[in-house]
Amino acid sequence: TFVAASLLVACGMGIVAEDLGLSATTGAFAAGVLLAESGYRAQIEADIKPFEGILLGVFFVTAGASLDPATVMTEWPTLLVGIATFIAIKFSVIFAAGEFGLGLSRSDSARVGMLLAGGGEFAFVVFKLAEDLGVLPESLVKLLTASVIISMSLTPLLGEAAEWVGAKFEDLEATDRSRIDWADDYDINLTDEKRIQEAFEMFDDDGSGAISSAELQLVLTRPGTAEEKLSIREIDAIIARFDDNGDGELQYEEFAKLWTAKRRDALGTALNGDGG
């Protein structure tokens, strides 16, 4: 009975919307917003859960059926440019909002922005309403609907792109943090022989008498997380600056030069030299 009453509200508002010159979809959407803000929201969600898959299937089949193949064939250059521009603008807005408005990291903002850069189902409601009110011509509505449907179909690809872009931003953030955190975690201005010896033994994990790239990478990430690791290439750039014998490892005398080098300047020069 409760489910029937909820459906009656949605259908009733759809009929009322049609009588007012709007689309039934607009009325049903308004009914959904109304019910979602009521005190029966939790019960409604639980009761319609068995029908959720069916209703979503009907919605997407209906949305797909509204795609006009003739429009896609004749207007494909416009669609390509429009979809690319739309995705770029939406990504930029979400990325900026996530980083500056919500306090997310750049990598998380990039992931969210790329994942949500495609069109949304609410666009169908807006386009239909605009067409019913005579704001947009039918030809333009078909073109916009096709662009939204195609962009929605790109969601799996956007998900893969989101992971790739997020990983790139994480690498940049890790590099920036490493240039600062390394000097903060280990005082590279220390000249005390005993402290340098203790540090060398700690860095030389396998006791071989030389510090390899892998051993130096492990220490440079303490006490952070996996996000803060320098890449092996960056570690090799640091070692290369002080590796007098060119064996790719730091002997004690070479490590002492690194340890007593100027704070941040030596590491920054090494990393910038590698990037240049």
Buried b (16+ CB within 10 A) or exposed e, 3-26: eeebeebbeebbeebeeeebbbbb
pLDDT of 117-136, one tens digit each? 888 777 877 887 788 778 88
Quick one: which of 87, 108, 86 has its CA closest to 99? 108
Q: Is the pLDDT of residue 182 over 70?
A: no
The answer to whether the beta carbons of residues 83 and 151 sit under 8 Å apart is yes
Q: Would the pTM of this model clear 0.75, i.e. be above it?
A: no
Burial class (CB in 10 A: 0-12, 13-18, 19+), 171: middle
Q: Is the pLDDT of residue 185 over 60?
A: no
CB within 8 A of 142, min separation 6: which ones?
Answer: 68, 71
pLDDT of 195-236, one tens digit each? 777 778 888 878 888 888 888 777 665 444 555 667 788 788
